[in-house]
Structure 1
Amino acid sequence: MALRVAVASSDGKFVNQHFGKATKFLIFDIEAEGKFDFVEVRETSPSCVSYQQHDEEELFDTVELLNDSKVVLVSQIGPGASQRVIDAHMIPIMYPGFIQEALNEISQNLDKFL
């Protein structure tokens, strides 16, 4: 069974987007053998209006867009958005670094996520 991960990235190399400011999420599947595959890019509208304030409809739409993912990797996420992600049975992880490194770390600890 693959673990689906949504990554907030503007360049495809780094986890470098705040959840509420992201315009796209890269979707990856991590297999039990530790390998991961790129699935697709999902575009969204930013939900962050200002510091700790969200457009509720955009926030709902972003969470819905990612609802088949188990993990959401972001550079930052506020408490309100984080709770929405958790309520949707996803795990928000702040990891401002290389996507490949983040996916490797998750794959080494796959049993904690499945």
Structure 2
Amino acid sequence: MLFQKGSEKMSYRVAITSSDGKCIDQHFGNTKIFYVLQIEETGKWEMLELRKAEEAEIKKLATEQGKFGECSGHNDVFLDYVSNLLSDCTYLLTSKIGMRPYKVLMENNINTLEAPHDLSVAIEKINNYYLKNK
């Protein structure tokens, strides 16, 4: 998703899977907290917020749908929940992701890339990628 204010440069949002907000070091299926950043085309960025995949909400949805007890990182309820949670993000950067979650997020317009790097390195790489592909 792109945002524009007047004649300012465009910016976009990126979610990352991180244990500390400094390094992309979490596997998608094990992540319960997503860091959300806003990046400008210039490469300037800011941390906007943390978004939590609330286990109680996911369990409630799973029970309502009769899907309780499935593997948390790859079941439909978790994937739908995270897709909604990150729906305003253009990219998700993670250290590792399986094919099924990758496909579901991509179908929901969240471009998912494995980027097990320090955050500053990952931001530079994703911004170069974004500028080439916008």
TM-score, with length taken from structure 2: 0.75
* Identity value in percent: 30
Alignment pair present for 1:86 and 2:106 = yes
Alignment match of 1:33 (pick from 42, 63, 86): 42
Given that 1:4 and 1:69 are in contact with CA atoms closer than 8 Å, whether structure 2 keeps it comes out as yes
CA contact (8 A) 1:22 1:45 kept: no
Q: Secondary structure at the match of 2:13?
A: strand
Determine the structure 2 residue equivalent to 1:75. 95
> 2:81 aligned with 1:61, yes or no?
yes
Shift in Å, 1:54: 2.3
- Which structure has the highest strand share of the two? 1
Q: Which has the higher helix share?
A: 2
Provide the alpha-carbon RMSD of the alignment. 2.0
C-alpha deviations, 1:23-74, integer Å up to 9, x for none?
1110011102211111100011578827xx7232112101110010011000
Instruction: Note if contact 1:14-1:97 (Cα within 8 Å) is conserved in structure 2.
Output: yes
Q: Report the number of matched residues.
A: 112
